[in-house]
Structure 1
Amino acid sequence: MSENVFSGSRNVAIVGSYLSGKTTLLESLLYVTGSLSRKGKITEKNTVGDGSQEARDRQMTVEVNAVSIEHDGIRFNFLDCPGSVEFTQETYNALMGVDAAIIVCEPDLPKVLTLAPLFQFLDNWEIPHLLFINKMDRAHDSFPTIIETLKSVSSRPFVLHQVPIGLGENLKGYIDLVTEQAYQYHADAPADSIPLPDELKDEEQAARAEFLEQLADFDDHLLEELLEDIEPPQDEIERDLKLELGADQIVPVFIGVAEQDFGVRPLFEALQREAPEPETTAKRRGLDADEEQPIAQVLKTYYSPQGGKLSLVRIWSGALTDGMNLNNIRMGGMYRLTGQQQESLNQATAGDIVALGRMDGVPTGETLSLDADMRELMPKAQALSPVYALAIAPKDRKDEVKLTTALTKLLEEDPALFWEQHGDTHEVILWGQGDIHLQVALDRLERKYKLPMSTHAPQVPYKETIRKAVTKVHGRYKHQTGGHGQFGDVYLDIQPLPRGDGFTFSEHIVGGVVPRQYIPGVETGVREYLVHGPLGFPVVDVAVTLQDGSYHSVDSSEQAFKMAARIAMQEGMQKAGPQLLEPILSVTISVPNDATSKVLRLVSGRRGQVMGYDAKAKWQGWDEVQALLPQAEIQDLILELRSLTMGVGFFEWTFDHLQEVPGKIAERLLARVGDES
C-alpha cells in the first residue's frame, strides 16, 4: 500500500440486516486496532456494543451503540446500529450524522434482498457506503452470483476492492484489486502476502479491468489512460476511490469473516484512506466547513436510571464546551462514549460525535446551536409510521400516575414509539414497529421506571348508527321527592345522516312548550346517550330534532329535560334499526415485486379490497399495493407481511371511512359484547 498521512476524524455507522455480524465486526475492528486486548462474544454477553440489558437478553442490537477510538492519529466514532427491521428508525436517525456507513451482509441470496430499504435510504440521502460481505466461509453461491444479486438492491455500482481465493469451507484468502497482490488469511492475525495463484490470473485480470473501468466512468483522465493502455499509478487509483466514495458514486466491496478477523484489517485501512472527512459531509449538508458558530444535531437519546438523560450529538461546526448553553439549555456534562463507558470532556470540535448531559426537552433529530431558532436547520430522517400496537396498563393501579412521565421519556429514547389514550375505548395504546420492538419498550418501562405492565390487543373502535328514521319519540321524566319534584317532557325525531356527517341537533319548538333555558339540557341528554348506543358503542351519523314537549312551572329543570331526552333516545334508537360500523383504513403496502401476488391474496383473505397496484417510484423491483382494510384485520398484518417478504415488506395507513360490519361477523361481535357485559 502507498504511504498516507492520516488526520482528523471519521464517523462511521455499521449497518446491515439482522444476524449479519455487525456487532462482531465492530468487536473485530476494535481488536485489530489494538483498542481491545480480547474480543468479546455476543453469546457470552461481553461485547463493547449491545451493552444494555434488553440487547443482551435477546442477543441482538436494539439501539445505537457509540464507540470511540483513536488510531494512527484519527479519531473513529463508530455507531453500531440495529439490524432488525423493527428498530430501523434507530438506524436511520444515526445515519443522518455519519460520514460513511459499512453495510454488513451475508453471502446468502435471500438475505441480500432484505437490504433493499437500507440501500434506498443511503442512496436517497447520498450517504457514502462500503459493503462488507461477511461470513464468506459459509457461502454456497458463487461470488459473481452474490454480486449480481446485490446489484438489484442498489442504484450505485458495486466496485470490487477484493475477490476471494476459494469460497465457503475452501476460503483461503483474497486478491486486492488495487495492488494486484494475493493474501492468505490467518485467524486473529494479519493476512500474509502470497504469490497470485496461476489458476486465478485470468479471473484477476478480468476483475481488475472491470474495477478500473468502473472508476473511469467518473474520471476522464483515468479513462484516457485505459484507452491508451497506460497502467494508472496506485495513488491515482486510491485517490479516485476516495473521491468517488465521498461523492456517493460507487460502493466499494470488501469480503471476509469478522469472527476470525479475516478481511477486517484491509477494511479498516480503507476507512482510513477512503472514507470522507467530516468537513466533506458538512459541505454536502450545506454547511460551511469554516463556520465558527457551534451547530450540532441529536442522533440518539439515552436515559439511564442513575445518570439521567444523555443526547448523542454530531458536531457539524464550531466547538462545544462543557456547560455551554445550546437552544437556551445549559448542558450538564460532555462525554465520549465507548459502549457503556463514559469519558468526561471539556471541549469537542466540528466532526466529532459526543454525548451531552441533561439536555431536557431536546428530542432526537433536533439541531443545537446558540440560536434556538435554528433547531430545524439540519434535515431529519423521516419518522416511520407505526404498524403494531398493544393496549397497556400498569399491573399496580397506583402506578397509573407515573405512566405518562415514563412514556414521555421512553418516546424520547425511541422516536419510533407512539402512545395515545384512545377517546372511544379509553385504553392506553402503545404503537411501534413490531412485537419485539414493543416488548423491548415494555422491558425498559419495568427496568428503568419500575412499571411492570399488563398488555392485550387493542379494542377496535367500533361505532354504530341507524338505518331508518323514527318520529315523535316520547320521553317523560317525572320524579317526586317531597319538595320540588322533577319534570321534563320531550318529543324527538331521530333520523340517519349520510356516512361521515357525524351528529346534529336542532329544535322546532313553537309557543314555548319547552322553555329556551331547558333546551340545552335536551341536547346534553341526547349527546350523553349517544356515547353508548343500543349496541354498546358510540353512535355516529344521526340527526336529532326536538319537536315538542311540555313543562311544569315549578318542577321542571334543565336536569329533568336531560333525563327525559335520554329516555326518548333509549326508546327511539331501538326502533331505528341500529347497525354496527367498523373503521376502514386506507393502506399502502410496499413489497418486492416477487411478493406482490402473495400480498394481493393476503389483503383479500383479510376482508380487504384491493384498489390497485403499481411499481413503487424510485424503488427498483418493488411494488406498491393500494387497499382498503378493516382495522379489525390489521393488528398482526405486519407480522404476516414480513413473513411473506423476508422481513422487508412494510405499510402505511390512514383512517378512510366507517362501514357496516357484515352480518355474521356483527352477530359474533355483539354476542361477545353481551357475554362480557
Structure 2
Amino acid sequence: DATLRQSLASSVEARRLFPVLCGSAKSGAGVKALLNAVDDLLPDAPGAVNDPVSAVVFRRDRDERLGQVAAVRVFAGSLKTRDRIQNLTADREEQITQIKRLSLDRLEDASQLQAGDIGFLSGLPDAQIGDVLGDEGPIPAVVSWSQPLLSVQVSPTDDAQLTDLLAALRQLSAEDPLLDLRWYDDERELHVRIMGAIQTEILTEILQTRFGLEAKIHEPTVIYKETPANAAEGVEAYTMPKPCWAIVGLRIEAGEPGSGIEFHSLVDKIDIHPKYQNEVRQFLPTALSQGIKGWEVTDLRVTLFEGSHHLLHSRPGDFKLATHMAVMKALQAGDTTLLEPMLAFEIRGHSDLIGRITSDIINMRGQIEPAKIDGEVFTLTGRVPLATSMDYVVQLSSLSSGRASLATQFDGYDPCPADLGQTRPYRGISPLDRAKYILWWRGAIKDSIR
C-alpha cells in the first residue's frame, strides 16, 4: 500500500535499504517492475535550479559528428547552449557549443540541463574526467578511483600499424585517464596502466572491434613508487643563456604514508613573484613523475626555501625547468626508498589446507592475522605484496581443486627491500644531465618521451 511504499522509499533514500530486482532485458521479464521501482523508490536528485551552476565531468566519449563530448552531472543551476563556464579544475573558461541527452542509443538535442540532469556537452575538447565546472560547493565528496597497479606494453601485430595504435590508445586514454598512456620514442614502445588481467582482454577487444587493430599485450610489470629516504636540499640557478632567470632552492623530506605531495613556500613574493611560485607548485607532480629509481615519487613534503626571479629575464617556464632540476638534485642527495603495492586478502577454504596456504603466504612475504575457524572452514586475512602474489589465485584454485576462494583489494604502498624490488632507468632526458636537459627544454634536441 501507499504507506509501505513511502516507508521503503524513505529507507532507500537514507541508504538503510538497497533494492534488488531481477529480470531480463532480452525477454523483457522484470523490466516493468524495474521501471516502477525506479519511479517509486529512488529519490529525486537534489539541487536548486536558481543557484550558481555546479557540474562535474564523469565521462568522455567521441561522437562521429560532434567529435569529443563530455558527459556531465549537474548538481545545481542550469547549463544552456553558448554558455561560458569556468572549469575550476583546469583553471580555464569553457564554452558550450551544443547540449545533448542520451535517448536509448542516440544523442538528441537539448536546450538546457538543470540541477539533477545528466547530459553531454560539446565544446569542451580538453575536459577531463573529474573536472569541476562552476561552483564546487554542491558537489559531494570526490570519489577516489582504484589506482592501476600494473603496467603493460602494447604493440601491434603488424609493425606498420604502430601509428594507428598510438592514435587509438591516445583516444582511449583521453576517455579513461587511468590508462595513462606513455609513448617512449627511443624504444618505440607504448605502455598503459591496467588493473588486472581481465582489463587486458577488454583492451584487446576494444582495439579490435572499435579500431580494427590487432594488438599484443605483453606481460605486466608491477608499478612501484619512491619516497624520500632522507631530508635533503637541491638548488638550481638557471640564469644562462639569456633570456632566462630562475633560482630555486627546494628542501625535500618524507611525509606521512598516503599524504601525496605537500608544498610549502618560505620565500617572500618580492624574491619570487607569486605567479612563479605557482609555477613551481603546479609543476611538482610532473617533476616527481620519475625519481632516481625510475618511479613516481610520493608521500613527501617539498619546501621552497630560497630563490629569485628577474624583472627583465624571467620567462614563463623558467621556474618549471629549475624546479625539475632542483627536485632531482635533492632526491639524489637524500636517496629514495622503494615502495611496493600491497594487497589485503581474505582466503576461505577447508581446514585441511590451512597449513599449506599459510606457508605459501609466508613465502610471498605476506603478513597473516590469526585464522578464524568455523567447523571445517577457515578464514585467513592479511596483507601480501602484489609482486609476489599476482598468480596465486591460479595456484590456490589448483591446490584446492577450486574449493577455496581468494578476495583481494589494494591496501596502500609499503617500503620494499632494495634487493627484492625493481628499479628502472630514467625514461627520456634526465634533469641530472643538466646541459642536455636545458637543450631539450629549449627545443634544440628531440624529446625522447611523450
The alignment's TM-score, normalised by the length of structure 1, stands at 0.37
- SS of the residue 1:315 aligns to: coil
Classify 1:511/1:605 alpha carbon distance in 2 versus 1 (closer, same or farther; 3 Å): closer
Amino acid at match of 1:624: T
- RMSD of the TM alignment (CA)? 4.2
1:440 deviates by 9.8
CA contact (8 A) 1:393 1:428 kept: no
What is residue 552 of structure 1 aligned with on the other side? 310
Q: Which residue of 2 aligns with 1:380?
A: none
Residue 297, structure 1, aligned to residue 23, structure 2: yes
User: Which residue matches 1:315?
Assistant: 29
Select 1:625's aligned residue among 358, 375, 380.
380
Equivalence for 1:493: 251
Structure with greater contact order relative to length (CA < 8 Å, sep ≥ 6): 2
Alpha-carbon distance in structure 2 between the residues aligned to 1:390 and 1:570 = 24
Verify the 8 A CA contact 2:294 2:427 in the aligned structure 1: no
Indicate how the Cα distance of structure 1 residues 489 and 656 shifts in structure 2: closer, same or farther if over 3 A, else same.
same
SS in 2 for 1:457: coil
What residue ranges of structure 2 are gaps of 5+ in the alignment?
1-18, 40-102, 107-145, 183-189, 429-450
The SS at the match of 2:296 is coil
Q: Any idea what SS the aligned residue of 1:656 has?
A: strand
Q: CA deviation at 1:632?
A: 0.9
Deviation at 1:585, TM superposition (A): 1.2
**Is 1:480 paired with 2:248?**
no
- What residue number does 2:274 align with? 516
Is the CA contact (8 Å cut-off) linking 1:598 and 1:644 kept in structure 2? no
Structure 2 residue matching 1:638: 3-state secondary structure: helix
2:338 corresponds in structure 1 to: 580
Q: Secondary structure in 1 aligned to 2:245?
A: strand
Q: Which runs of 5+ in 1 are unaligned?
A: 1-284, 288-295, 299-310, 320-326, 329-357, 362-384, 408-417
Deviation at 1:657, TM superposition (A): 2.3
Q: 1:590 to 1:392 in 2, by over 3 A?
A: farther
- Check 1:615–1:318 CA distance in 2 against 1; reply closer, same or farther (3 A cut): same
Count of aligned residue pairs for this structure pair:
290
State the partner residue of 1:463.
225
The residue that corresponds to 1:454 in the other structure is 216
Following superposition, the deviation at residue 489 of structure 1 comes to 0.8
* CA–CA distance in structure 1, aligned partners of residues 271 and 192 of structure 2: 43
- Alignment partners' CA distance in 2, 1:658 and 1:589: 21
Partner of 1:531: 289
Kept in 2: contact 1:476–1:567 (CA 8 A): no
> Aligned partners of 1:519 and 1:438: how far apart in 2?
41
- The offset of 1:664, in angstroms, is 1.7
| Separation of aligned partners in 2, 1:628 and 1:446 | 37
Compute the displacement of 1:580 (Å): 0.9
CA distance in 1, matches of 2:171, 2:321: 39
The one-letter amino acid paired with 1:652 is A
Relative to 1, partners in 2 of residues 1:470 and 1:442: Cα closer, same or farther, differing over 3 Å? closer
Please point out which of 591, 599, 602 is paired with 2:360: 602
Q: C-alpha separation between the residues in 2 aligned to 1:676 and 1:509?
A: 32
Q: How does 1:84-233 map to 2 (within 5 A)?
A: none
On the 8 A contact 1:603/1:627 being kept in 2, the answer is no
Q: Distance in 1 between matches of 2:212 and 2:31?
A: 40
Q: Which residue of the other structure, out of 400, 412, 430, is the alignment partner of 1:657?
A: 412
1:281-296 paired onto structure 2 within 5 Å:
none
Q: Is the 8 A contact 2:154 2:217 kept in 1?
A: yes
Give aligned-pair identity as a percent.
Answer: 22
Describe the shift of the 1:578–1:403 C-alpha distance in structure 2 as closer, same or farther (beyond 3 A).
closer
Q: Which residue identity does 1:590 align to in structure 2?
A: R
The alpha-carbon deviation at position 586 of structure 1 amounts to 0.8
Which residue does the alignment assign to 1:645?
400
| Secondary structure class of the residue paired with 2:310 | coil
Q: Residues 663, 574 of structure 1: CA spacing in aligned structure 2 closer, same or farther, 3 A cutoff?
A: same
Distance verdict in 2 for CA 1:547–1:441, change over 3 Å: closer
More moved, 422-431 vs 588-597: 422-431
Q: CA offsets per residue over residues 309-363 of structure 1, 9 Å max, x none?
A: xx534614879xxxxxxx99xxxxxxxxxxxxxxxxxxxxxxxxxxxxx9759xx
Determine if contact 1:389/1:635 at 8 Å carries over to the other structure.
no
Superposition deviation, residue 456 in structure 1: 2.1
Q: Is the 8 A contact 1:522 1:562 kept in 2?
A: yes
Q: Distance in 1 between matches of 2:178 and 2:197?
A: 12
Distance of 1:568 and 1:675 partners within structure 2 = 16
Q: 1:585 to 1:651 in 2, by over 3 A?
A: same
* Alpha-carbon distance change, 558 to 316 in structure 1, aligned in 2, over 3 angstroms: closer
Separation in 2, partners of 1:468, 1:652: 36
Q: Cα–Cα, structure 1 residues 419 and 537, in superposed 2: closer, same or farther, change >3 Å?
A: closer
Q: Following superposition of structure 1 onto structure 2, how do residues 12-91 of structure 1 map, counting pairs within 5 Å?
A: none
**SS of the counterpart of 1:582?**
strand
Deviations 1:605-626 (A, max 9, x none): 111111232136xxx6332210
Equivalence map 1:323-338=2 (5 Å)? none
What code does the residue aligned with 2:154 have?
Answer: A
State the Cα distance separating 1:547 from its structure 2 match. 1.3
In structure 2, the CA distance between the partners of 1:451 and 1:359, relative to structure 1 (3 Å rule), is farther
d(CA) in 2 for partners of 1:610, 1:623 = 13
- TM-fit CA distance, 1:444: 9.2
Tell me which amino acid in the other structure corresponds to 2:29.
Answer: I
CA distance in 1, matches of 2:270, 2:345: 52
Larger Rg: 1
Question: Residues 459 and 510 from structure 1, CA distance in 2 versus in 1: closer, same or farther, beyond 3 angstroms?
Answer: same
Q: What is the deviation of 1:634?
A: 2.4
Shift of 1:510: 3.5
Residue type matched to 2:26 in 1?
A: L
